Amino acid sequence: MQTEQTGLQRHLKVRHIRLMALGSTIGVGLFLGSASAIQIAGPSILLGYLLAGIVAFIVLRTLGEMAVHEPVAGSFAAYANTYVGPLAGYMVGWGYWTYWIVVGIAEVTAVGIYMGIWFPETPQWIWALSSIVMMGLINLIAVKVFGEFEFWFSLIKVVAIVAMIALGGSVIFFGFTNDWNPIGLGNLWQHGGFFPNGISGMLLSLQMVLFAYVGIEMIGLSAGEAENPRKTIPMAIDSLAWRILIFYMGAIFVILAIFPWNEVGQQGSPFVVMFERIGLREAAGIINFVVITAALSSCNAGIFSGGRLLYALSVNGYAPSPFAKLSKYGVPHRAVMATVAVCMTGVVLNYFVPDKAFQYIMAAVTFVGLMVWIAILITQIQFRRSLTKVQAAELAYRTPWWPYSSWFALAFIALVVVLMGFHEDARIALVLGPCLLAVYLAMFYIVGLHRKTKQSREFK
């Protein structure tokens, strides 16, 4: 079966969509990057994950409301074009495409680094190249094949986190591997309190925590290829929200209960140390495998998202027309290949570009990710305003507590953007992010798209 008006095939099932969005969120950042956030906030990072999780849920529901009403391949870029304006659709589409390109580059770089632990004699760029080629081929075959691979990639990460939570819980409450003397929860408040660095520490960690959830919005991109989207999208969103909260908060809770917060990150990944502490000697190898799988999963999701966005941009004249071509299996193969080709710059970066420059690129994309969330919320507000009271009442899937929830999420994200200016490592994002948006804005006017765009034309 094909998507109306586009030719994309609806072969993604509920289990595919659930694990796709979950997998795109649970990546290298959780396994390796959580330590820096813990160092800033201490145990209060749990409150940060809860608040950010609530905002992520609101963003998902607002996107789901529009996706169920109008399931198209362009997703939030299409909705921004229709309900805010052509410039908004253009900026969101290209901005989010850039986001996934750079995430893909970061993830294949991670694959190269961690494969180097097992094969130190093999150049890092070879693993990066192999990863991109393999994920590209998976995306070119058929959307159903992509969905299966992403399902199993994500399942490995989920199983690893569930195992860690279960084993850690047995240590905390039953004393497993500790002569059956329960450790208890004292570490959550015995080392400077729950807010060891004050409320300000928790607030400053919010930009790291919120960015950890960025990626779940890709569930909207699957609407154009989902089986019965008016049923599958709500089911996937409603189950995804609480699963992400459990996986993130559960994993961080276990780590903070077993270790004093000020010791986390001093001996490498907190997940590796966690498994070693509970007596699993092969922890380093297991976590290394899981991290590689996590990176491949995010790269896989990034190529999928980038290909669909480039296809949608092309259909609407915002990108070269050849990218609108579909294969006989309903895959936008030229858009996927172009996305893979740009991701190949990650192979070059692994050799030529210093780490600091690469961190600056990621900082800019952090800003873009948050801007996409803001765009989704503003678009949904405009979408609601375009409806009559009768039409709003007939929506099959509605955002809870509208309009207060949407405005709360907008205010929260705006606060996080402001707080980024107070964090040295994140401050560069406030410079590079707007510069990136300025480049896209200039492109929009230089190529004359503002003149070519017609109000009657909808972003598919």
Spatial distance between the Cα atoms of 222 and 3, rounded to a whole number of angstroms: 11
The 3-state secondary structure of 274-300, one letter per residue:
HHHHCCCCCHHHHHHHHHHHHHHHHHH
160 closest CA partner among 68, 57, 280: 280
Q: Determine the pLDDT at residue 281.
A: 60
289 residue type, one letter = F
157 closest CA partner among 292, 332, 338: 292
* Residues ≥6 apart with Cβ < 8 Å to 227: 1, 10, 11, 12, 13, 14
Identify the DSSP state of 26: S
In a domain, 4, yes or no: no
* Residues ≥6 apart with Cβ < 8 Å to 266: none
Q: What is the average pLDDT value for the chain, to the nearest integer?
A: 78
Q: Determine the pLDDT at residue 386.
A: 92
In a domain, 455, yes or no: no
Angle ∠(376,382,388) on CA atoms, nearest 5: 135
In a domain, 209, yes or no: yes
In a domain, 451, yes or no: no
Spatial distance between the Cα atoms of 227 and 241, rounded to a whole number of angstroms: 21
List of the chain residues with pLDDT < 70 = 1-33, 73-74, 142-144, 146, 177-178, 220-229, 265-284, 349-365, 447-460
* Residues ≥6 apart with Cβ < 8 Å to 142: 9, 11, 329, 330, 331
Spatial distance between the Cα atoms of 223 and 6, rounded to a whole number of angstroms: 12
Spatial distance between the Cα atoms of 194 and 190, rounded to a whole number of angstroms: 8
Q: Which two tokens stand for residue 383?
A: 């979408």
Q: Determine the pLDDT at residue 384.
A: 94
Identify the DSSP state of 8: -
In a domain, 307, yes or no: yes
In a domain, 3, yes or no: no
pTM of the full structure: 0.82
In a domain, 6, yes or no: no
Q: Determine the pLDDT at residue 20.
A: 63
In a domain, 34, yes or no: yes
How confident is the model over 314-335, as pLDDT tens digits? Answer: 887 788 888 888 877 778 889 8
141 residue type, one letter = I
Task: Note down the domain range covering 221.
Answer: 14-445
217 closest CA partner among 371, 87, 10, 30: 371
Q: Determine the pLDDT at residue 22.
A: 63
Task: Assign residue 262 the CATH number of its domain.
Answer: 1.20.1740.10
How confident is the model over 77-124, as pLDDT tens digits? Answer: 888 888 998 888 888 888 888 888 877 777 777 788 778 778 888 887
Judge contact between 19 and 12, C-beta under 8 A: no
DSSP secondary structure of 93-160: HHHHHHHHHHHHHHHHHHHHHHHHHH-TTS-HHHHHHHHHHHHHHHHHH-HHHHHHHHHHHHHHHHHH
Q: Quick count: other Cβ atoms within 10 Å of Cβ 83?
A: 19
Q: Provide the domain count of the chain.
A: 1
How confident is the model over 384-429, as pLDDT tens digits? Answer: 999 988 988 888 889 999 999 999 999 999 999 888 888 777 787 8
Spatial distance between the Cα atoms of 138 and 291, rounded to a whole number of angstroms: 20
Residue 402, helix vs strand vs coil: coil
